[in-house]
Amino acid sequence: MSRALRRQPLVNKPPAKGSPFKLGGSRPTKQKQSAATQAEAARRASFYDRWMPRPVHDVFSELRKVTWPTREETMRLTVAVVSVSVVIGLALGSVDIGLNWLVDHTLLR
């Protein structure tokens, strides 16, 4: 333990008033759906809901929740990534050429 932590005074917190979890309480019951409601939900189910395996269905349901960027935002970010990559590539290339020249003219003579 560091000295700074050892020098700080301990803070005594008052105990919590009560736990939100109560032992022995009854569990909430699930809402029962009628047969008509279940039939309507089955009728509205799409192809993916009925025939795809569960992991694939989970992937599609998560992809529906994604906030996709607009076309303009995608183009702007693509240009930014390409330009930064080119600048870093040119910088590293120039350092490489410079170090090669330095080694050729100093160590290999």
pTM over 0.75: no
Contact yes or no for 42/34 (Cβ under 8 A): no
CB-based contacts of 66, cutoff 8 Å, min separation 6: none
* CA atoms of 107 and 109, how far apart (whole Å): 6
Tell me which amino acid residue 31 is.
Answer: Q
Query: What is the residue-level pLDDT of the chain in tens, covering all 109 positions?
Result: 565 656 666 667 666 666 665 666 666 666 777 777 777 777 666 655 667 777 887 888 888 899 989 999 999 999 999 999 999 999 999 999 999 999 999 988 7
